Amino acid sequence: MNNRAREIFRDPRRARPASAVASGRALPTRHLNFCRVCYKCLTCQKLNHLGKFVSNQSMNTKILLSVVTSSLIATAVYAFDPPPVGSAAPDFSLPDAKGGTHSLSQYKGKYVVLEWFNPECPFVKKHYGSGNMQKLQDQYTGKGVVWLTIDSNAPGTEGNITSEQAQKIAESWKTRQTALLLDPEGKAGRAYGAKNTPDMVIINPEGKIAYEGAIDSKASPNPADIPSSTNYVKVALDESLAGKPVTTPQTKPYGCSVKYK
């Protein structure tokens, strides 16, 4: 801001058009009511002293309302957080790819892993394309852990799948989870504050959340990063099954966003 602009900001009445400055004429009274923010004349809505066009008050109001409304909508869509670690895990009931129904409550007394899923997400493909996710699923379901993979993407969005598509994916990807569940309404996803794929949750036999967050420590879609990363889910499950407290009970999940309707 130059010296002239600073003077006008301190005292808008000192704003004078270039022609008035050159001739020494005083600025008409109707042009003395300048806004200290945009420097426009609040009386006549004409060009301000900096020569910039300012739209009329009605248009300004519409723009402001549009921005505020957009912000509120964005906030409403993502205005949910995951339940705190140690709190009771929200119950849900969802259909699987084969037409069966699974509820969390039916698995009380067991460790349960929830894995949010999007078959088109490169971060999900990182772990399935490398066989890392299938290996984890096979290893821990073999130890009695229930592994529920959940697709909470809304119809018409990336990642949403039908039951037929889910079955084909499970077969072609050779997945080893207990069930692939469909949550197109996003009820389970919102209840757990799931924002990314993959987003991981571990629930203990008492029905409380023992871990929530990322699958591992390297937030990249590159499978080459898997061997050198810390797998938080594996560590948390090993500690839990050994009767030890989870040393890292919460991390920041990474991946593609869950597409809620």
As a whole number of angstroms, the distance between CA 94 and CA 78 comes to 22
pLDDT value of residue 128: 98
Q: Which fold has domain 93-257?
A: Glutaredoxin (3.40.30)
As a whole number of angstroms, the distance between CA 183 and CA 201 comes to 16
pTM for the predicted model, two decimal places? 0.71
As a whole number of angstroms, the distance between CA 107 and CA 113 comes to 11
pLDDT value of residue 2: 53
Domain spans of the chain, in order of start: 3-69, 93-257
pLDDT value of residue 15: 46
Residue 107 three-state SS? helix
pLDDT value of residue 75: 34
Chain-centroid distance of CA 116 in Å reads 13
Q: Where are the alpha helices (DSSP H) in the chain?
A: 3-10, 18-23, 57-77, 122-129, 132-141, 163-172, 187-191, 232-241
Respond yes or no on whether the N-terminal peptide bond of residue 198 is cis (omega within 30° of 0): yes
pLDDT tens track, the chain, 261 positions: 555 544 544 444 444 444 444 444 444 444 445 444 444 454 454 444 444 433 444 444 444 444 334 333 333 344 478 999 999 999 999 999 999 999 999 999 999 999 999 999 999 999 999 999 999 999 999 999 999 999 999 999 999 999 999 999 999 999 999 999 999 999 999 999 999 999 999 999 999 999 999 999 999 999 999 999 999 999 999 999 999 999 999 999 999 999 998
pLDDT value of residue 171: 97
Per DSSP, the residues of 67-89 read HHHHHHHHHHHT---PPPTTSBP
pLDDT value of residue 129: 97
